[in-house]
Amino acid sequence: MSNSWDANHYDAAHSYVWTLAADLIELLAPQRGERVLDLGCGTGHLTAKIAERGAVVVGIDASAEMVRQAQENYPGLSFRVGDATSFEVDEPVDAVFSNATLHWVKDARGAAGRIVRALRPGGRLVAEFGGKGNVREVCRAIAAGLEAVGAPSFESLSPWYFPSIVEYAAVLEGAGLEVTFATLFDRPTLVEAGLRSWVEMYGTTFLAAVGEQKREAFLDAVEEAARGALFKEGKWVADYRRLRVAARRVG
Ligand code: BEZ
């Protein structure tokens, strides 16, 4: 969650992040008056959907730029800057909701500990993020691009955490949550803005390691390496795989 984000670009070109996860709100089933924390709220669109159901929701995000954009998008809602491994809540919440965030948190145990602390006993977590095998072809292409320009390896740089169901259930159980639902599913995702734009948005760690001089050669090499697997009928389709979980705080 420490990436620097271009919130305008995110809102304009990556809206699939929240439009494709709208049904996650059905799994959350927010009730009128419930206190909900949206962990990794981005520009606030799902936070607003939760608020529409009558819940009292606070959005937090590690990026000050995202929080600023969320507040501009939804001035009537509460947003603040906070990291998944260190955030605090004023009062325990009934539910923690999180979409497309936890794959940025390599300290999964740290985040799970914070989530448990934020929940009232019996409170629930509903989360979706990249699971085992997520963006496998994109990762392969980035690895090839890094190699092509002589940059450090993908493994040494990757900021992402894509666990299996078993791995993540163990993290949640270890923190004091009881897993009530878990599924891992493919969700090929059309990236209208193109793979280059995707890497520019989400791959800032790799771009920083590559440096300005080799940036274009790196992006060309990534596109070339990914084309066979991900460029379909003139469009880029990223090989997303989602891990969707629900869990309840025990005691
Ligand atoms: C994802 O939503 O799966 C994702 C987004 C950015 C980087 C890696 C994965």
Residue 146 to residue 186: CA distance in whole angstroms:
26
Q: Check if 100 has its Cβ closer than 6 Å to any atom of ligand 1.
A: yes
Q: Which residue has the higher pLDDT, 250 or 21?
A: 250
Average pLDDT over residues 118-140: 98
Q: Report the nearest atom of ligand 1 relative to the CA of 160.
A: 8
| Residue 86: closest CA among 66, 63, 111, 64 | 111
Tokens of 60: 């937090």
Please give the single-letter amino acid code of residue 40.
Answer: G
Could you tell me the pLDDT band of residue 3, with boundaries at 50, 70 and 90? low
Q: Are 187 and 154 in contact (CB under 8 A)?
A: no
The pLDDT of residue 238 is 97
Q: Are 1 and 105 in contact (CB under 8 A)?
A: yes
Percent of the chain with pLDDT over 70: 94
Tokens of 31: 């009730």
Average pLDDT over residues 188-206: 96
Largest CA distance in the chain: 55
Q: Check if 134 has its Cβ closer than 6 Å to any atom of ligand 1.
A: yes
| Residue 244: closest CA among 17, 22, 24, 82 | 24
For the cut 50, the answer to whether the pLDDT of residue 102 exceeds it is yes
Residue 186 to residue 135: CA distance in whole angstroms:
10
Q: Check if 242 has its Cβ closer than 6 Å to any atom of ligand 1.
A: no
For 228, phi then psi, to 5°, come to -60, -40
Average pLDDT over residues 108-137: 98
Task: Specify the range with the lowest mean pLDDT, choosing from 8-22, 47-61, 89-103, 229-243.
Answer: 8-22
Tokens of 240: 């997303």
42-83 residue pLDDT tens: 999 999 999 999 999 999 999 999 999 999 999 999 999 999
| Structural domains of the chain in order of their starting residue, each with its CATH number | 7-135+160-190+239-249 (3.40.50.150)
Q: Which residue has the higher pLDDT, 18 or 109?
A: 109
Average pLDDT over residues 199-210: 97
For residue 233, how far is its CA from the centre of ligand 1 (angstroms)?
Answer: 23
130-182 residue pLDDT tens: 999 999 999 999 999 999 999 999 999 999 999 999 999 999 999 999 999 99
Average pLDDT of the chain to the nearest whole number: 94
Please give the single-letter amino acid code of residue 213.
Answer: Q
Name the one residue in this structure whose structure tokens are 């799902």.
46
Could you tell me the pLDDT band of residue 16, with boundaries at 50, 70 and 90? low
For residue 190, how far is its CA from the centre of ligand 1 (angstroms)?
Answer: 13
Nearest CA to ligand 1 atom 2: 100
Q: How many CA atoms lie within 13 A of 210 on its CB side?
A: 27
Q: Report the nearest atom of ligand 1 relative to the CA of 17.
A: 2
Could you tell me the pLDDT band of residue 1, with boundaries at 50, 70 and 90? very low
Tokens of 59: 């959005």
For the cut 70, the answer to whether the pLDDT of residue 5 exceeds it is no
For 218, phi then psi, to 5°, come to -65, -50
The pLDDT of residue 163 is 98
Q: How far is C-alpha 32 from the chain's CA centre?
A: 26
Q: Check if 21 has its Cβ closer than 6 Å to any atom of ligand 1.
A: no
User: To test ligand 1's pocket by mutation, which of 103, 106, 198, 206 has the most ligand atoms within 8 angstroms of CB?
Assistant: 103
